[in-house]
C-alpha cells in the first residue's frame, strides 16, 4: 500500500510530497482511518533519562517541525515523538527548493533552515494534540533564530527552554543543524561549556518553579572527529547533561556526489549517514557509558540498522529518512525484530 502511495508521492517535488503526505495523514486521522499500532509495553518498555518509554523507537526531529501532526504520527507505533526544531520567533527558512530525494542512495539532502511557526504556535499544537488524546512521550527540539547571532544563541535556547519546559517530557538542544550559519560551532570548547552551563542553571531553576524535572538532550553532528567526541563527552559529563542525540545530518557528500542532486548544499541523511552515526555513537559510548544515555539516529531503515545502533551503545533510536523510503510499516517491522 505505502509502495503505491510512495510511487505517486515521488513524482512530486520533495517538499510538496512531504506536505501532501502529512496533510493526508491528518485527514486520515480526523476521519478515524488511522488505527494505532498495538504494541505490548510489558515487553518493549524501557526507562531512559528517568522516563518510561513504551518502546525504543522514536520519530526524529524535523518531520513535524510545528507539532501539527503529533497525535496522527504517534499512531504509527512510535515509543516517542520529537517535534521541532522550533525557534523563539517564526521564520520562513531558506528559499525553495531546499529538500531533495536521492532514491539511488536512499538518501535525502535538506537545507530547510529551521522553517517553523515559532514556539508559541508549537505549544498551541501540543495542547491540541493532548486534547485529541495524545498521551505519549514528547520531545521538543529547540534552536536559534537566523537573525540571532551565534554569540547570542544562548538567549534563544533559554527562551525555548522556558517556553517548552512545562509541555515536554524531554527537551533537545539542537546545536548540529548544518543549515543555520555558525550553529555547529556551539559544539566545541568553551562555547559548548558556556551554553551547557547556562542551560543547566536554567533547568534547575525551572525544575523548582514547575516542581518537575525535564531532562535535556544535546544533539550533535556525525562529522565529529574522535578527538572532538572525547572533548564533547567531557563537557557533557562536566555539565551533568541528561542525554546525547547522535546524530544529525552530515556535510560529507562523498556517497552521493555522482548522483542526481548529490551536489546540493545542505545536510545528507538516510543510508549514507548510517555507519557514520553508528561510529560516532560507539565512540561517545566509550566515554559516556552508563552515565549519559545516547539516542541513536541516522540511516535506520530496518531492524538490523536499529540493532546496530543499540549494540553500539544507544539506549533508544529515532528514524526520519527511513520512514520516507520504507513507510510507516517500518516501525512495526523494527519493533517485531528487536528485543
Residues catalogued as catalytic: 177
Size of the site for ligand FMN (CB under 6 A): 26
| 110 lies in the binding site for ligand FMN (CB under 6 A) | yes
| 61 lies in the binding site for ligand FMN (CB under 6 A) | yes
Of the candidates 286, 296, 197, the one whose C-alpha atom is nearest the C-alpha of residue 243 is 296
| 306 lies in the binding site for ligand FMN (CB under 6 A) | no
Residue 46 β-bridge partners: 53
| 295 lies in the binding site for ligand FMN (CB under 6 A) | no
Q: CA-CA distances (angstroms) from residue 266 to 94, 173, 181, 263, 270?
A: 11, 20, 11, 9, 13
- The residue among 34 and 105 lying less far from ligand FMN, judged by its C-beta, is 105
- The residue among 212 and 221 lying less far from ligand FMN, judged by its C-beta, is 221
* CB of residue 248 to ligand FMN, shortest distance in Å: 5
Binding marks (x or -) toward ligand FMN, 167..196, rule CB under 6 A?
Answer: -------x--x-------------------
* CB of residue 63 to ligand FMN, shortest distance in Å: 7
Residue number of the CB atom closest to ligand FMN: 62
* CB of residue 326 to ligand FMN, shortest distance in Å: 10
> Where does 176-293 show beta strands of DSSP type E?
216-220, 243-246, 267-270
- The residue among 19 and 209 lying less far from ligand FMN, judged by its C-beta, is 19
Of the candidates 149, 170, 151, the one whose C-alpha atom is nearest the C-alpha of residue 161 is 170
* CB of residue 22 to ligand FMN, shortest distance in Å: 12
**CA 249 to CA 205: how far, in whole Å?**
32
Burial 14-49 (b: 16+ CB within 10 A, else e): bbebbeebbeebeeebeeeebeeeebeeeebeeebb
Which of 105, 196, 273, 281 contacts ligand FMN by CB under 6 A?
273
| CB contact set of 214 (below 8 Å; sequence gap of 6+) | 165, 168, 169, 170, 171, 203, 206, 207
**CA 332 to CA 72: how far, in whole Å?**
15
Span 22-41, contacts to ligand FMN by CB under 6 A: none
| CB contact set of 77 (below 8 Å; sequence gap of 6+) | 36, 37, 39, 55, 57, 328, 331, 332, 335
CB-CB contact of 314 with 279 (8 Å): no
- The residue among 92 and 201 lying less far from ligand FMN, judged by its C-beta, is 92
| 55 lies in the binding site for ligand FMN (CB under 6 A) | no
Span 213-242, contacts to ligand FMN by CB under 6 A: 219
| 272 lies in the binding site for ligand FMN (CB under 6 A) | no
Which of 180, 187, 249, 278 contacts ligand FMN by CB under 6 A?
249
| 65 lies in the binding site for ligand FMN (CB under 6 A) | yes
Binding marks (x or -) toward ligand FMN, 116..155, rule CB under 6 A?
Answer: -------------------------x--------------
Q: Which three cell numbers stand for residue 163?
A: 517556553
* CB of residue 115 to ligand FMN, shortest distance in Å: 9
Q: Which three cell numbers stand for residue 78?
A: 512510535
| CB contact set of 292 (below 8 Å; sequence gap of 6+) | 236, 237, 241, 242, 243, 244
Which of 69-77, 129-137, 224-232, 316-324 is the region at the interface with ligand FMN (rule: CB under 6 A)?
A: 316-324
Of the candidates 142, 112, 116, 104, the one whose C-alpha atom is nearest the C-alpha of residue 266 is 112
Q: Which residues lie near ligand FMN (CB under 6 A)?
A: 60-62, 65, 85, 99, 108, 110, 112, 141, 174, 177, 219, 248-249, 269-270, 273, 297-300, 319-322
Amino acid at each position: 500500500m505505502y509502495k503505491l502511495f510512495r510511487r505517486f508521492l515521488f513524482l512530486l517535488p520533495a517538499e510538496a510530497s512531504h506536505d501532501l503526505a502529512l496533510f493526508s495523514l491528518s485527514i486520515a486521522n480526523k476521519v478515524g482511518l488511522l488505527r494505532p499500532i498495538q504494541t505490548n509495553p510489558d515487553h518493549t518498555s524501557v526507562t531512559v533519562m528517568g522516563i518510561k518509554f513504551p518502546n525504543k523507537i522514536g520519530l526524529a526531529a524535523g518531520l513535524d517541525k510545528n507539532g501539527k501532526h503529533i497525535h496522527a504520527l504517534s499512531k504509527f507505533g512510535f515509543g516517542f515523538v520529537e517535534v521541532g526544531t522550533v525557534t523563539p520567533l517564526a521564520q520562513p527558512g531558506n528559499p525553495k527548493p531546499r529538500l531533495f530525494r536521492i532514491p539511488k542512495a536512499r538518501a535525502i539532502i535538506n537545507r530547510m533552515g529551521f522553517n517553523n511557526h515559532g514556539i508559541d504556535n508549537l505549544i498551541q499544537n501540543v495542547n491540541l494534540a493532548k486534547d485529541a488524546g495524545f498521551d505519549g512521550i514528547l520531545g521538543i527540539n529547540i534552536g536559534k533564530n537566523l537573525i540571532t547571532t551565534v554569540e547570542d544563541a544562548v538567549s534563544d535556547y533559554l527562551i525555548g527552554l522556558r517556553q517548552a519546559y512545562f509541555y515536554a517530557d524531554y527537551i533537545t538542544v539542537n546545536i548540529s543543524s548544518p543549515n543555520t550559519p555558525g550553529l555547529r560551532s556551539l559544539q566545541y570548547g568553551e562555547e559548548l561549556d558556556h551554553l551547557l552551563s547556562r542551560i543547566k542553571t536554567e533547568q534547575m531553576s525551572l525544575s523548582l518553579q514547575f516542581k518537575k524535572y525535564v531532562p535535556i538532550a544535546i544533539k550533535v553532528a556525525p562529522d565529529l572527529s574522535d578527538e572532538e567526541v572525547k572533548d564533547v563527552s567531557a563537557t557533557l559529563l562536566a555539565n551533568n547533561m541528561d542525554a546525547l542525540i547522535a546524530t544529525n545530518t552530515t556535510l560529507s557528500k562523498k556517497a552521493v556526489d555522482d548522483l542526481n542532486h548529490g551536489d546540493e548544499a545542505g545536510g545528507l541523511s538516510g543510508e549514507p549517514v548510517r555507519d557514520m552515526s553508528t561510529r560516532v555513537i560507539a565512540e561517545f559510548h566509550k566515554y559516556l557509558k552508563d552515565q549519559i544515555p545516547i539516542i541513536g539516529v541516522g540511516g535506520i531503515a530496518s531492524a538490523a540498522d536499529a540493532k546496530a545502533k543499540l549494540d553500539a551503545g544507544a539506549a533508544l533510536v529515532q528514524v526520519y529518512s527511513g520512514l520516507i523510503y520504507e513507510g510507516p510499516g517500518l516501525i512495526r517491522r523494527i519493533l517485531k525484530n528487536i528485543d
